[in-house]
A and B are shown apart, each in its own frame.
Chain A
């Protein structure tokens, strides 16, 4: 909201450096986003009179103009055509700097020297007019040589662009900002009466408001409210005999300074009142209201109304989303035909036009939640709806309507008559002032201050609250909260709300600070520590962490091997990317492609993130979805393939200290899954679980399916899909020691005796996994086996098709003795026999 300092001064005598005022507003929570200095830079601009206008040979866009600035003749070039000799205009002489920083210098143009500029209203930031230069003939006191600011009676002003928080509808107007600021600065605050206002803003103009001298309002218009639930208070005033035209300069200047376009004196008066007091009002052309009045009712299901923006709106049906009841408040003419949506937007049929003479002004209180629902569903937000949905002051209506009538009486011609009285329909749901007891102990307990009851009362009173201590310094302060503060809730919540008010007026910057201490230690969970370790391990093997999007396409999901249904976003940013990922693989492969396209495709990337799925058994309290944290790594460096991922897995398992795990090769996702290479991938399983010997899946390791890789366009120089190793781990399982068992905590004794190594090479059929051979060796080696290590794999013609040689180094050791040759020989033959028998293998 744009807040001119000059306007704030209507309410309290604010003085001092605007920067300090801005800082104070910040500290009040009325955050000043921009401080704009307007009317500055006009100091050098003078009134000048046109003396001579001549064409320049060879130039049709500009003419040579000679003006007098009162003492000298000045020659300037000017492109505008809206003036003649004798007109008074605004001259920015050489050396002046216009608002916005535009510096006027001597300029050579088309063979002449221009010694200044004749300015338009917009160039001076006085109006939006840029059709021609500003003509000052009608301005009293304008004469050549007079400073423009003196002639117009304007001083430089400061406009604060204030961000008003959503819970402070009262501060969304000049009076509201001024009230807070005055309270903080210890200045008296008052909304000026209309005569006082006029003497401030238009000292030469008409001063006194026209008294209500017309017929009784009830004899010229009717109002009926059928739905007091949606509209608990509705008032109407009638002003007759108006002449629609432009508003006076002081008013349009204020509207412009506040960022609002002047329309005509009737609409401007309504807008002025809203900006000044925060109450939206709506003027109707009374003659265009059938039946001469208004009827307020709930919209029927599917009823339509065409709003001022020329859009036909359908009402009365609940939209998607929680809490939308589909209850919309319609404003109708007296015959029941809709003329607008209550509190949001009027209709075109009863709009103020140039011929309007009689105005019915609506000033009402609508239920905030109802306005919020209707406005959200219709996607129709207006200055009025934004205020009503936050909560306007039902008690502020009278003053706002009165101000409107008084302004119109001053601005809409000599025949204005204000009808006597107010049509005022009040229901039972109109908010009333709240009474909240504020305990000093509570205030100090929340703020860490030591304020007494009188001190608290003193901080609340200037905000427009009644605050009376009920006893001693520690006894509660009884506060009556005015209806313009809907943010303050009834007790007990209201006590906290008022504590914030105490703190704001006191000054957040003055509140004490203390570093708290508690006996409980902080720390990471095992899961969090191990997750960090896991990421570090991945970095250690040369993989960098990526962050890919959670929003994927349907084809990403299918390609990643996940059959529907998927979790779908109702309102995606990009329509195609409306599913939550089931796998990080598509995103990571895309990231590799992104890098490959920049000639840096030899990368290893990993991501730790969430993947999403529908819940198997929905938790009745929670969402029907599961979010799993996984680690996905892709290895696309030079020479990378399934082995890179396998090596990575071994490092991961080692660093986590997994006691036991199994790699089970073969296709594991059925035919839908094409993400893993059917013959070069394996499922990782935990060791047999303590209960029931069930193994749980830790993840997958191996290589990505070539078709999958090709889908994303990741092909090598030979045009074939690149081999990409991948590792995909379920962290919820892997980092849970109950499911992925760790090595025991207890240390194992180390033998002091020398160990013996035995190397054994077996020819083993291809169908037998090396892992099974190793498992057999471990079993056969028994307690004396310290380690077993595959150190060579050989395939060759000598071994024939369908078999390979696996060479293992077995290290034996006893804790209490050196093993004898006999013992080792026996262990050796035991191992050989076990492998040969179990696996159709032969010692080589």
Chain B
């Protein structure tokens, strides 16, 4: 401290003034007085120039600290005042929401639009409901057991590479995850049916799934699948192929057909991928279908006996089939959406088209 100037006293004085201010107007005024160009601190700083270097260094540091303190006090008071004023303003705008008088609120006058994915999902559900399926759903967070283990995909199974999984910081590492497919709903359904003694099952399971893929024109990290499961007596691969064909024709149109070809999924055996006639060229061959006339839609197969074993269903008594495919991909195909990311941008110009 220097004899001539009591910096601490200046700060105390400023603090007093700042604390006393209680409106935006007042704090602006106080700010000018305690930290403006004409403030005592500013003048003291200007006077530094004429001092000897040693004293200047000491006082300069003190003044710098003081000004920082004052600025901080000002800012904190300003934000208190802003908050108080906003609160007062909000309180003054109070509404009694039970004072609602019907007919007094105008809407935009035109209908909104259901998201294309919802429309597609509803349409798919309707087709399957017409075929005798009910609709089941399940949670988006699953344990490793439901998403993988019960589906015959044990830990470290190379087939896990087929799904890039988002894991959650819950419980043991990699024990809880965002479901990578709707197949865990199958497990829940079968477990419940076994518990309740309510087999058979004829269900489709639509829902949101997650895979750790960087989004591009054909993939989203968050996407929608619909899955089907039939567990009944005497169900064969022929029923699966017939169901896929009926669905294909019903959903895509009478000139669109399906075919199955062998594939590998840990939870079905035999397994197949199913393809449908390319809707662009109607089977003639075009760029979209790589000249094959077919577009790959999803996977399917007969429920693997290991899956039945994990839910306690006797594979000699019951057989079943399952199938699954992307809802978003159906929408993309049907509406020829060049870039899948349009589905998550929520641009009203896109949403309004459907």
Contact = CB atoms under 8 A, between A and B. Distances in A.
B167 interface: yes
B319 A445 contact: yes
A372 B122 contact: no
Nearest to A768: B96
A290 to B, nearest CB: 33
B100 A29 contact: no
Contact of B348 (A168, A321, A600, A644): A600
A643 B104 contact: yes
B111 A540 contact: yes
A794 B94 CA distance: 15
Contacts of B140: 550, 610, 612, 627
Interface in A351-371: 368-369
Nearest to A368: B158
Interface residues of A, number: 136
B108 A542 contact: yes
B132 A522 contact: yes
B209 to A, nearest CB: 11
Interface in A187-208: none
A542 B118 contact: no
Contacts, number: 354
Interface stretch (B15-23, B42-50, B239-247): B239-247
Contacts of A168: 264
A790 B101 CA distance: 6
Interface string A699-731: 001100011000000000000000000000000
A528 to B, nearest CB: 6
A774 B98 contact: yes
A646 interface: yes
B86 A522 contact: no
B261 A31 contact: yes
Interface string A59-79: 000000000000000000000
A544 B112 contact: yes
Interface stretch (B57-65, B276-284, B299-307): B299-307
Nearest to A566: B169
A500 interface: yes
A496 B125 contact: no
Contact of A600 (B114, B157, B349): B349
Contact of B98 (A26, A551, A665): A665
Interface in A393-449: 444-449
A567 B246 contact: no
Contact of A679 (B95, B105, B168): B95
A470 interface: no
A74 B100 CA distance: 93
Contacts of B221: 573
A546 interface: yes
Interface string B86-126: 11001101111111111011111111111101100010010
B51 interface: no
Interface of B: 86-87, 90-91, 93-102, 104-115, 117-118, 122, 125, 128-135, 137, 139-144, 154-159, 161-162, 166-176, 178, 200, 202, 208, 210, 212, 214, 221-222, 230, 232, 234-239, 241-243, 245-246, 259-264, 266, 269-273, 290, 302, 304-306, 315, 319, 343-349, 351-352
10 contacts: A321-B174, A389-B158, A503-B262, A509-B261, A523-B134, A569-B178, A594-B346, A625-B141, A766-B96, A791-B101
Interface of A: 26-29, 31, 34, 165-168, 320-324, 368-369, 372-373, 376, 389-390, 444-449, 487, 489, 492-493, 495-497, 499-500, 503-504, 508-509, 511-518, 520-525, 528, 532, 535-536, 538-551, 567-573, 580, 591, 594-595, 598, 600, 602-606, 608-610, 612, 614, 621-625, 627, 637-639, 642-644, 646-647, 650, 663, 665, 677-682, 701-702, 706-707, 766, 769-772, 774, 789-793, 804, 806
Task: Report, nearest first, the 10 A-B pairs whose CB atoms are least far apart.
Answer: A29-B262, A448-B238, A323-B155, A771-B98, A448-B236, A500-B270, A165-B264, A542-B108, A679-B94, A320-B173
